[in-house]
Chain A
Amino acid sequence: MKLTLWTYEGPPHVGAMRVATGMKGLHYVLHAPQGDTYADLLFTMIERRDHRPPVTYTTFQARDLGGDTATLFKTACQDAVTRFAPEALIVGASCTAELIQDDPAGLAESMDLGIPVIPLDLPSYQRKEGFGTDETFLQIVRHLAKPTPRTAHITANLIGPTALGFRHRDDIVEITRLLADMGIAVNVCAPMGARPSDIARMGAAHFNVLMYPEHAESAARWLEANFKQPYTKSVPIGVGATHDFLAEVAQITGLPVTADTSRLRLPWWTRSVDSTYLTGKRVFIFGDGTHVAAAARIARDEMGFEVAGLGCFNREMARPIRALAKDYGVEALITDDYLEVEAAIAALHPEMILGTQMERHIGKRLGIPCAVISAPVHVQDFPARYSPQMGWEGANVIFDTWVHPLVMGLEEHLLHMFRDDFEFHDEAGASHHGGQHIARPVAAEAAPAAAIDAGSMPAEIAPVVEEATSSNLIWLSDAENELRKIPFFVRGKARRNTEKFAQGKGLTSISVETLYEAKAHYAR
């Protein structure tokens, strides 16, 4: 048993729902107790879908457990086929039904429903949502894809986008456009938007674009082994990664790289002088493996940040993320425990967090700006406007999204210049953070206002940022006062650097001298 409050991933049957809901003409019969329909609202509310997810729940109750749950399941299958007339059915069990062992696969097969029935085996007590999407899509492809002659023109399948995916909707558009620029058409995009009959003709494509390894790597491998379709290994998030992706596509297809970068603005934006202040901003990156790897490269090579730490919650990606972290000279954090993530962030004092919905709240708590780069996300990250992460427009979107929570160059400069001015004191925070202006408190010590954002958090301020990180070091009061004059958004870094410097010198106390010696030491 493990005590949990917040989970980065749902159970695997939610992953299967994401595949089913992304597709059309497919229905999912889920052997599940009353209440498991809660997952419907993820799709109707967070993703704002205008249809119910194509899922029928058997809704067994305590009184059914005597023995007729199998009948209940068969009735549900029959009703679903009659009512929704799907082209194919996927069947499986949720965590409770897994315990009562009704064998949905055997039951459904014995019914002769006249359409393909795809059984799912999703071990709820071992695996999670990401596994559920990947395994469900693999089973659908295995059961439905048929050997087909290749299309006359070069075409590709886009695989991996699902319902409830972070920016999947717009990434599809962007990738379709990138491929079109090279003269490549899309054969099938799946699971999102595909019908079972579309899955059947996936074999006609010349290669596969694996958009999200978390959701379709198994299917990509199966198609490679069985239909001899190579698949792309680069995920085109960021300018460099998009160039790599196009080069990979060129290599697979023999076509020359044709890229219309006329709408790409990130490279100029990051070179413009206002971005100089982004140099060396220390960022902490957390999310699903794919988005973390992409974000790390953009952060270091395209934005000029320093990657202070990175990690992922899905252990399926643990190996590549560990290798990546080594590349960046940091320790990878592979965990699905948000308390560990919070502790890591508090210890590293980053100036910015790139993460999930959860890290957004950790950032709010610690007073650190945060941008969202990965699921799980809340309703505001399923925007109405076009906002891909992939390709050229994705790079533009990422630049804006990441820079927005930071104090921009000019503003940071002004804040620094006027830091003793009555309106630009530490607690005032940045003008665009949405918090109310807070007048300089008369009493010397007030809670840092940045964390009392106008959000949902109660106004309990975690003291983590201001706490000394090493217990054996004493800050002399003069040094403490001098430290307080440093703007709040760099103070954590200054404190940490000074302490590191002092420890290196074997000092036991920190004076004003030490503070400035450390500043000189770390000057860049």
Chain B
Amino acid sequence: MTGALPSLGCSNTSVLKERGQREVFCGLTGIIWLHRKMQDAFFLVVGSRTCAHLLQSAAGVMIFAEPRFGTAILEEKDLAGLVDAQTELDREVSRLLSRRPDIRQLFLVGSCPSEVIKLDLHRAAERMSAAHAPHVRVLNYSGSGIETTFTQGEDACLAAMVPALAQTDARELLLVGALPDVVEDQALALLAAMGIKNVRCLPARRSADAPQVGENTVFALVQPFLGDTHAALLRRGARHIPAPFPFGAEGTTLWLQAIATEFGVPQAVFDAVTAAPRARAEKAIAAARQTLDAKSIFFFPDSQLEIPLARFLTRECGMTALEVGTPFLHRDLLAPELALLAEGPVISEGQDVDKQLARARTARADLTVCGLGLANPLEAEGMATKWAIELVFTPVHFYEQAGDLAALFARPLRRRALLAPLAPRMEAAE
């Protein structure tokens, strides 16, 4: 399947760049999965009631489980200069930390309101780090809508951590990007079986296990949306191992192969380690492929996972991509993916949602990947949809999840077929 290198694929395809109304989440949403991953971190958004409402809406029932995030809601007096916002923030943080002694890392997360009023959270973080050292380290980043889209919140968070990582001269592999624990364990086991030791993860599960970084560090990204983190690691002297992202049997193999090559793993060892899980993944994908084969797909921009997923769905599940929208296209990081993606689809960056909706209606793909604000309205127009946010919350990377990933796309199509006897009446009612 990966034998002969294809032509340039979409490497030179010109990108449709659009600006206008964007139907996307802001970077604050990243907190929802980041706080599950980083077990002794607390994320304090400095923002408005809207920010708190967004987190509540996005977190669903998670909000009731004493999660490690919250919003310091700006009030009228904070804006009017009646009180010193920095003093207020110090007070809230001290209260928070005294109530939650288990917290070792605190992230002050900037929002649109805090950015617009130019509340200096960087200075606040430095001041608080000094005040609460050595027990708690305080960092800051922006998850605001004016600067970040959805998964870019994770990028901003990890990039903020990089300068604070300890220095090392050891030759270590760093895996970058928050993965569900079960997936991370699988990746580490595969690398260990190839004899690659000294593998660290960013973010680590606990702050005490934070990785170190230096000139001899090499790193691989497991997520495509980590452009700023990539740049921050390069600044620390680390070297990037370019690879397609580990989605599907092929993506996972190519990703592992790039690392194996870097560490001089003999091909026989690589094949021995990957053969069985790879065959398992291909078998699992085949089940969903029956539904997906020869179907067309249209991606609205959401998470930057769109291009790697389009590559997986077209090459391993037999789908045809009509448009692949992404909120942001990092050419460098996605070069291996674009080379694999067959020419044909419109690749769009950014969004003007009404224009894109018009294109989606014209294309009438068999499956449209979009956010929750668009999914039901498009279903009501008779189009099958797959809501995108699930792709970020569900374990989808590496071999063992390849079948699940394909099934996420197959399920709405299977459901549509199952309910087809009811459909004519529904359409008659429209």
A interface residues, Cβ below 8 angstroms from B: 1-7, 9-11, 13-14, 33-42, 44-45, 48-52, 56-62, 64-65, 76, 79, 83, 94-96, 99-100, 123-126, 128, 358, 361, 365, 455-458
Contacts and interface: CB of A to CB of B under 8 A. Distances in A.
Interface residues of B, number: 64
Given A35-B145, A50-B377, A61-B147, A100 B116 contact: yes
Given A44-B373, A124-B48, A1 B74 contact: yes
A125 B374 CA distance: 29
A40 B373 contact: yes
Given A95-B48, A95-B50, A37 B22 contact: yes
Interface string B17-57: 00011111111110000000000000010101110111011
Contact of A62 (B71, B72, B117, B147): B147
Given A1-B74, A1-B78, A99-B117, A37 B64 contact: no
Contact of A45 (B46, B63, B372): B372
Contact of B57 (A34, A38, A50, A96): A38
Contact of B65 (A14, A59, A60, A458): A458
Contact of B79 (A6, A36, A42, A125): A125
Nearest to A58: B21
Interface string B209-246: 00000000000000000000000000000000000000
B113 interface: yes
Contact of A7 (B26, B46, B49): B49
Interface string B356-378: 00000000000000011111110
Contact of A11 (B53, B62, B89): B53
A388 B191 CA distance: 59
A125 B75 contact: yes
**A-B complex: 6 closest residue pairs judged by Cβ atoms:** A35-B26, A35-B145, A40-B373, A50-B380, A456-B61, A96-B112
A48 B372 CA distance: 10
Given A52-B377, A59-B21, A95-B49, A2 B72 contact: yes
A7 B21 contact: no
Given A59-B21, A125-B48, A125-B75, A7 B53 contact: yes
B24 A35 contact: yes
B149 A34 contact: yes
A94 B111 CA distance: 13
Contacts of B116: 65, 96, 99-100
A50 B70 CA distance: 32
B354 interface: yes
Contacts of A33: 26, 112, 144-146
A365 B73 CA distance: 26
B376 A44 contact: yes
A99 B85 contact: no
Contacts of B376: 44-45, 48-50
A457 B65 contact: yes
Contact of A36 (B50, B92, B117): B50
Nearest to B47: A95
A52 B381 CA distance: 11
Nearest to B49: A11
A124 B27 CA distance: 21
Contact of B146 (A40, A96, A128, A458): A96
A34 B24 contact: yes
Contacts of A61: 145-147
A449 to B, nearest CB: 19
Given A35-B28, A37-B24, A124-B48, A52 B373 contact: yes
B281 to A, nearest CB: 31
A11 B48 contact: yes
B373 A124 contact: no
Contacts of A1: 46, 72-75, 78, 85, 88-89, 91-92
Contacts of B95: 3
Contacts of A126: 75-76
B85 A51 contact: no
14 contacts: A1-B85, A5-B52, A5-B71, A7-B56, A11-B50, A33-B144, A38-B26, A38-B57, A41-B373, A51-B377, A59-B22, A95-B113, A96-B112, A361-B64
Given A124-B50, A456-B61, 15 more contacts: A3-B70, A5-B52, A5-B56, A7-B53, A37-B24, A44-B374, A59-B20, A59-B21, A61-B146, A62-B115, A62-B146, A65-B116, A95-B48, A95-B113, A124-B49
A125 B76 contact: yes
A378 B352 CA distance: 30
Interface in B5-21: 20-21
Interface of B: 20-29, 44, 46, 48-50, 52-54, 56-58, 61-65, 67, 69-76, 78-79, 85, 88-89, 91-92, 95-96, 112-113, 115-117, 144-147, 149, 354, 371-377, 379-380
Given A33-B144, A38-B54, A3 B71 contact: yes
Q: With a 10 A CB-CB cut-off, give which of A64, A100, A125, A455 has the most chain B CB atoms.
A: A125
A57 B52 contact: no
Nearest to B376: A44
Decide if the interface of chain B is mainly helix, strand, loop or mixed. helix
Given A79-B354, A96-B113, A56 B21 contact: yes
Contacts of A51: 377, 380
A260 B89 CA distance: 59
Given A51-B377, A125-B76, A34 B26 contact: yes
Given A34-B26, A59-B22, A99 B79 contact: yes
Q: With a 10 A CB-CB cut-off, give which of B48, B53, B88, B146 has the most chain A CB atoms.
A: B53
Contacts of A123: 76
A126 B92 CA distance: 19
Contact of B52 (A4, A39, A64): A4
B73 A4 contact: yes
Contacts of B70: 3-5
Q: With a 10 A CB-CB cut-off, give which of A2, A10, A34, A100 has the most chain B CB atoms.
A: A34
B58 A35 contact: no
A56 B76 CA distance: 27
A34 B146 contact: yes
B48 A96 contact: yes
B52 A36 contact: no
Contacts of A45: 372, 376
Contacts of B27: 35
Q: With a 10 A CB-CB cut-off, give which of A1, A36, A124 has the most chain B CB atoms.
A: A1
Contacts of A36: 26, 50, 54, 145
Q: With a 10 A CB-CB cut-off, give which of B71, B72, B85, B373 has the most chain A CB atoms.
A: B373
A65 B112 CA distance: 11
Contact of B54 (A35, A44, A100): A35
A64 B63 CA distance: 33
A50 B375 CA distance: 9
B63 A6 contact: yes
Contacts of B49: 4, 7, 9-11, 95, 124, 128
A365 B65 CA distance: 10
A10 to B, nearest CB: 4
A94 B374 contact: no
Nearest to A62: B146
A65 B69 CA distance: 28
A100 to B, nearest CB: 6
Contacts of A83: 354
Contacts of A456: 61-62, 64-65
A6 B145 CA distance: 21
Contacts of B22: 34, 37, 57, 59
B234 to A, nearest CB: 23
B228 to A, nearest CB: 14
A84 to B, nearest CB: 9
A72 to B, nearest CB: 9
Nearest to A56: B21
Contacts of B23: 37, 40
Contacts of A37: 21-24, 373
Nearest to B150: A35
B327 to A, nearest CB: 9
